[in-house]
Amino acid sequence: MTHTVSIEDADVRYACAPQESLLSGLHRLGLRGIPVGCRGGGCGVCKVEITGGEFSTRVMSRDHVSDDDLAHRRLLACRVYPSSDLSLKVIGKLQKKVCTPAADRPLP
């Protein structure tokens, strides 16, 4: 039994099984929409806000998920597993970059 995941603003809908993370379901279909990094809950690039639906999670790095994030369902897509149809917004940003000294970059 798979669930349908909708990425708001990106007009992407895909099928995701309950034992498959939101990120790997998207990735498996060769679709884009959520940035893909470590796929282990450690790097934070796949951050999304779940705007509707039920899900379960696995442990994810608190460097990227604060208590406030948890309360507002702002989570790492590689560690979220759908248990109903679900909708989300992508909020992770790939803006921090090697090579540019901190002083020259806008604050994250």
DSSP helix/strand/coil, 40 = coil
- The phi, psi pair for 78, rounded to 5°, reads -75, -5
Q: In the range 30-49, which residues lie near ligand FES by CB under 6 A?
A: 36-39, 41-46
72 near 88, Cβ under 8 Å?
Answer: no
**By CB under 8 A, residue 102 contacts other proteins:** yes
In the complex with ligand FES, the residue whose CB is nearer, 3 or 92, is 92
Total binding residues toward other proteins, as defined by CB under 8 A: 25
In the complex with ligand FES, the residue whose CB is nearer, 77 or 101, is 77
74-76/80-82 β-pairing: unpaired
> What is the C-alpha separation between 10 and 71, in angstroms, rounded?
24
> What is the C-alpha separation between 72 and 69, in angstroms, rounded?
5
32 binds, among other proteins, ligand FES, none (CB under 5 to 8 A by kind): none
Binding mask 35-74 for other proteins (x = CB under 8 A): -xxxxxxxx-x------------xxxxxx-----------
**By CB under 6 A, residue 25 contacts ligand FES:** no
H or E segment and range at residue 24:
helix 22-28
Question: Applying CB under 8 A, which residues contact other proteins?
Answer: 36-43, 45, 58-63, 94, 96-102, 105, 108
